[in-house]
Amino acid sequence: MNYCESKRYMKTFIIFFFYSILLAGSGTALENAAAAMKAGLFREALNHVEVAQSQDHSNAEVYRLKALLHEALNEPNNAIQAWKSCLINTQNDLLINEAKIHIQSLQGRE
């Protein structure tokens, strides 16, 4: 397994980990996103996450999942925007740190 493959598997793992957290108190849109992600349909999952975002504009975890999906789809500019929205909507120091790290990493790929 080369570096790029292992990086992609790690992103996929992270996405699945966070979607399970989001499902705890979310709703139908995120449940549909989770089902799409399990099937490997990241674009469809992103569509469902955008529905969830429209229902709750201030949920930083939704923006985190959106950013991770954009990363998995190799869309660094969209991922950066989602991470920035995540920063705006959180007070959680760990999430702030995670977002800043991802933004910094993605800025080199634009």
For the domain that residue 9 is a member of, what is the CATH number?
A: 1.25.40.10
Per-residue pLDDT, averaged over 49-65, amounts to 92
pLDDT, residue 22, reads: 56
N residues, the chain: 110
| Parent domain of 88 | 3-107
How many structural domains are present in the chain? 1
Max Cα–Cα distance, the chain, nearest Å: 40
pLDDT, residue 87, reads: 97
pLDDT in tens, 17-37: 666 555 554 458 878 888 888
Would you say 56 and 34 are in contact if contact means Cβ atoms under 8 Å apart?
Answer: no
Would you say 63 and 85 are in contact if contact means Cβ atoms under 8 Å apart?
Answer: yes
Can you give the pTM of this predicted structure?
Answer: 0.73
Would you say 49 and 66 are in contact if contact means Cβ atoms under 8 Å apart?
Answer: yes
pLDDT, residue 28, reads: 83
